[in-house]
Chain A
């Protein structure tokens, strides 16, 4: 009897451990056969018939619901899509431009945006808990112009913001942090430039990238290069020029961090060369060509999934392109076109699907007053897989 109980306890313990293992182990990285993505879905409209639209930002809550915020004629609009249902009717949530959204572990939506209030452009914060949007509060508190905000969620759940600001008389990059009550903010040391992108590593490091002009004797006004800086233990590192491409305009940087604490950046050189590099601290790879586009390419976005795969998407005004590869690849595969050439396509945004996969959203303009938002998605097959031992007697 005692022997039987002991065996029962062992069996239960084994079962619990096996279940824990199943829960924590996803597919091994690099098992290409296990990670073949599905085809891209047919592009679906989020909202159509808009007078104007721009800069959509998308994210998913854990329940699989998609959320989108975008600007249109000086206001921000929001729509959501429950799983396997159509998108909701859009609602106006604030006056403003350039939204950037993240969703926290409690499914609360957080959005930063720029808006002119009392004669000055400031950065504002709104959030949505349940079905209620809360009114905007000032994030930037600067006397200069503030714009192009980005928002990210650090590993400890704190909200971090960055934006461009001309308070000192030139464009500089600011960093803001949410205490739960206040937004505090300060300029990132020596970070002159514009249009920041930001990512947070699980290690707690915040990565920031932006573009700034690097002058030379021959060209005192300079050409844009891509700079990065990282915030570790409260200190910003000196800005590093990672594109370092004299005589070439490097524009539209985007960053993402993988679980190993490496940051991955992409941008466009000479309007047609999609570039990629990675690194951390002072260690950075050489820029690597992702794709040489046959027509002007703009503003590539990069996103990293839990399996350390990177997805890069960009527009060429007539088409939307994307490619996917493991982080730090030897080469990038030929990209896919994910949107039919209808009108002008731009404002690419990306979001991770809760069940593994990626959504790409964009703005499509077919004529004046004929703007719409569209999205397509691709499942990447990274669902957690149970590798159960075969028990035989």
Chain B
């Protein structure tokens, strides 16, 4: 038999070559493209500690100011001690050059609060280490809710004073790592003497251990905070039965009014979830606690809004979460099939496989022009729930009855 070593050696080299190829560096364009930094704008903020004609010290940073720097002083003047937000770009000198300086809080106002949660790693008198952060405790103003032990999860509320965190409140979030609270909610399906069934799960509800808020009853909605016991059972430590349940609504924003308090009142048309159910007008209150998600569209009249809200009255809501959507102009052509309408505030139809809402008196005009059927062109806007709100209709000649 002939020796196979040369062939095997060739295979070894081939394999090694492939391994080397696999370990190659990123393509050259990566490095080349990333070697030329642009003067990208950076965001820094902090207390204004000193200011000279061309150099300000803001928190931990020095920034250059010049004639091009814009100042936004709606909330106060840029005096020493004010809390500033600075948008700056890199400068050949190495010191950022301020493009925009915004006064966030005037001098004398409290500094922004920060709140964070981490494991208490060390507690040494007035100095605690929470996570990897040093926190100073000032007893006269400090509120400690359930004194934590080292190893427990704590939530710290603190003021930023330069690089120091001055604690205002420390709360034990989880005392025992093996006893992490579990939060769930659902309908109360059964209530026995010392255990309830909520959202399909049985939980022990001993009067001595469970705080009950609200008036529970079978069929009501309940929020349950429970601990998992060693035997796998759940022990409720808190049960809350809210008086009002949040609702989710698809709405068309018709007006946004600013209030003196900074809150807003939105007028909306609510489109119910049931097909061919007329929209109705409602008021939605929006405040600083409302999460207005503008990642898809900016808040303004004419936008679609998916609203999660607490009902205050049948046609008045306090918004919790709003997601905005830009409506789209659309043209639909097809055979018109008018549908019954509930309130007379408009009318419904199907055209070209789409559900059409004719607002106001438009259904009468449509009926008069088409007899309620025939080929029709609809110009309108596409809403987030799939409905086309008609703005104009054109019976197609020769097709209308």
Contact: A344 with B296, CB < 8 Å? no
Bound CA–CA A25/B133 (angstroms): 44
Q: Which residues of A contact B3 (CB under 8 A)?
A: 3, 7
Contact: A215 with B72, CB < 8 Å? yes
Q: Does A306 contact B (CB under 8 A)?
A: no
Interface string of B16-40 (1 = CB under 8 A from A): 1011011000110110011111101
Q: Choose among A181, A186, A298, A392 the residue that contacts B180 (Cβ–Cβ < 8 A).
A: A181
Q: Does A67 contact B (CB under 8 A)?
A: no
B48-56, B183-191, B370-378 - the one binding chain A = B183-191
Bound CA–CA A135/B234 (angstroms): 11
Q: Does A271 contact B (CB under 8 A)?
A: yes
Q: Choose among A22, A141, A367, A392 the residue that contacts B385 (Cβ–Cβ < 8 A).
A: A367
Contacts A/B (CB < 8 Å), 16 sampled: A18-B14, A21-B16, A30-B27, A74-B308, A166-B288, A182-B117, A192-B43, A211-B295, A238-B43, A260-B26, A298-B326, A343-B386, A369-B273, A389-B14, A392-B7, A393-B7
Contact: B386 with A187, CB < 8 Å? no
Interface string of A1-45 (1 = CB under 8 A from B): 001101100110111011011101110111000000000000000
Bound CA–CA A194/B157 (angstroms): 21
Interface size bracket, A side = 35 or more
| Most central of A183, A212, A387 by chain B CB within 10 Å | A183
Interface string of B154-192 (1 = CB under 8 A from A): 010100000000000000011001001111111000000
Q: Does B102 contact A (CB under 8 A)?
A: yes
Contact: B295 with A252, CB < 8 Å? yes
A103-111, A115-123, A349-357, A375-383 - the one binding chain B = A115-123
Q: Choose among B7, B118, B226, B325 the residue that contacts A186 (Cβ–Cβ < 8 A).
A: B118
Contact: A141 with B117, CB < 8 Å? yes
Interface string of A132-145 (1 = CB under 8 A from B): 00011110111111
Q: Does B321 contact A (CB under 8 A)?
A: yes
Q: Which residues of A contact B246 (CB under 8 A)?
A: 74, 116
Q: Does B267 contact A (CB under 8 A)?
A: no
Contact: B174 with A24, CB < 8 Å? no
Q: Which residues of A contact B47 (CB under 8 A)?
A: none
Please provide the 9 A-B residue pairs with the shortest distance between their CB atoms, ordered closest to farther: A343-B386, A260-B26, A186-B116, A17-B15, A241-B41, A21-B18, A365-B386, A14-B11, A135-B182
Interface string of B266-293 (1 = CB under 8 A from A): 0000011111010000000000110101
Contact: B113 with A168, CB < 8 Å? yes
Q: Tell me the chain B residues, 113-134 only, with Cβ under 8 Å from chain A.
A: 113-119, 131-133
Contact: A280 with B34, CB < 8 Å? yes
Which single residue of chain A is at the shortest CB-CB distance from B46?
A190
Q: Does B193 contact A (CB under 8 A)?
A: no
CB-CB under 8 A for A97 and B321, given A238-B43, A368-B385: yes
Which single residue of chain B is at the shortest CB-CB distance from A315?
B296
Interface string of A183-225 (1 = CB under 8 A from B): 1111100111011000000000000000110111100100011
| Most central of B11, B37, B277, B329 by chain A CB within 10 Å | B11
Q: Does A47 contact B (CB under 8 A)?
A: no
Bound CA–CA A185/B297 (angstroms): 29
Which single residue of chain A is at the shortest CB-CB distance from B14?
A389
CB-CB under 8 A for A242 and B45, given A18-B11, A147-B321: no
Bound CA–CA A57/B114 (angstroms): 31
Bound CA–CA A12/B26 (angstroms): 33
Q: Does B4 contact A (CB under 8 A)?
A: yes
Binding site for B on A (CB under 8 A): 3-4, 6-7, 10-11, 13-15, 17-18, 20-22, 24-26, 28-30, 51-52, 54, 73-74, 94-95, 97, 114-118, 121-122, 124, 135-138, 140-145, 147-148, 164, 166-169, 171, 179, 181-187, 190-192, 194-195, 211-212, 214-217, 220, 224-225, 227, 234, 238-242, 244, 249, 251-253, 259-260, 262, 271, 278-286, 295-296, 298-299, 316-318, 327-328, 342-344, 346, 364-371, 387, 389, 391-393
User: Distance (Å) between the CB of A97 and the closest chain B CB?
Assistant: 6
Q: Choose among B38, B153, B296 the residue that contacts A182 (Cβ–Cβ < 8 A).
A: B153
Contact: A184 with B131, CB < 8 Å? yes
Contact: B116 with A138, CB < 8 Å? no
Interface size bracket, B side = 35 or more
Bound CA–CA A190/B22 (angstroms): 40
Contact: A260 with B8, CB < 8 Å? no
Contact: B71 with A217, CB < 8 Å? yes
Q: Does B328 contact A (CB under 8 A)?
A: yes
Q: Choose among A13, A142, A283, A296 the residue that contacts B35 (Cβ–Cβ < 8 A).
A: A283
Bound CA–CA A239/B42 (angstroms): 6
Bound CA–CA A30/B30 (angstroms): 14
Q: Choose among B177, B291, B328 the residue that contacts A318 (Cβ–Cβ < 8 A).
A: B328
Contact: A185 with B117, CB < 8 Å? yes
Contact: A52 with B273, CB < 8 Å? yes
Bound CA–CA A252/B30 (angstroms): 25
Q: Does B354 contact A (CB under 8 A)?
A: yes
Bound CA–CA A346/B132 (angstroms): 41
Contact: B42 with A137, CB < 8 Å? no
Q: Which residues of B contact A318 (CB under 8 A)?
A: 328, 330, 382
Bound CA–CA A260/B33 (angstroms): 13
Contact: B12 with A17, CB < 8 Å? yes
Q: Which residues of B contact A244 (CB under 8 A)?
A: 40-41
Q: Which residues of A contact B248 (CB under 8 A)?
A: 52, 73-74
Contact: A95 with B184, CB < 8 Å? yes
Bound CA–CA A211/B354 (angstroms): 35
Bound CA–CA A216/B153 (angstroms): 41
Contact: B297 with A194, CB < 8 Å? no
Q: Which residues of A contact B5 (CB under 8 A)?
A: 6-7, 10
Q: Choose among B9, B228, B238, B275 the residue that contacts A367 (Cβ–Cβ < 8 A).
A: B275
Which single residue of chain B is at the shortest CB-CB distance from A120?
B289
CB-CB under 8 A for A317 and B382, given A4-B1, A186-B131, A387-B18: yes
Contacts beyond the supplied A14-B9, A20-B19: 9 A-B pairs with Cβ under 8 Å = A7-B1, A7-B5, A121-B320, A138-B181, A145-B289, A171-B291, A182-B177, A241-B87, A284-B40
Q: Does B207 contact A (CB under 8 A)?
A: no
Contact: B387 with A368, CB < 8 Å? yes
User: Distance (Å) between the CB of A1 and the closest chain B CB?
Assistant: 11
User: Distance (Å) between the CB of B6 and the closest chain A CB?
Assistant: 10
CB-CB under 8 A for A54 and B153, given A220-B72, A283-B37: no
Bound CA–CA A342/B73 (angstroms): 49
Q: Which residues of A contact B273 (CB under 8 A)?
A: 51-52, 368-369
User: Distance (Å) between the CB of B262 and the closest chain A CB?
Assistant: 11
Q: Choose among A148, A187, A190, A283 the residue that contacts B291 (Cβ–Cβ < 8 A).
A: A148
Q: Which residues of A contact B113 (CB under 8 A)?
A: 167-169
| Most central of B74, B113, B273, B288 by chain A CB within 10 Å | B273
Bound CA–CA A166/B273 (angstroms): 31
CB-CB under 8 A for A183 and B117, given A20-B15, A368-B271, A369-B273: yes
Which single residue of chain B is at the shortest CB-CB distance from A164?
B291
User: Distance (Å) between the CB of B7 and the closest chain A CB?
Assistant: 5
Q: Does B150 contact A (CB under 8 A)?
A: no
Contact: A28 with B297, CB < 8 Å? no
Bound CA–CA A271/B294 (angstroms): 11
Contact: B355 with A366, CB < 8 Å? yes
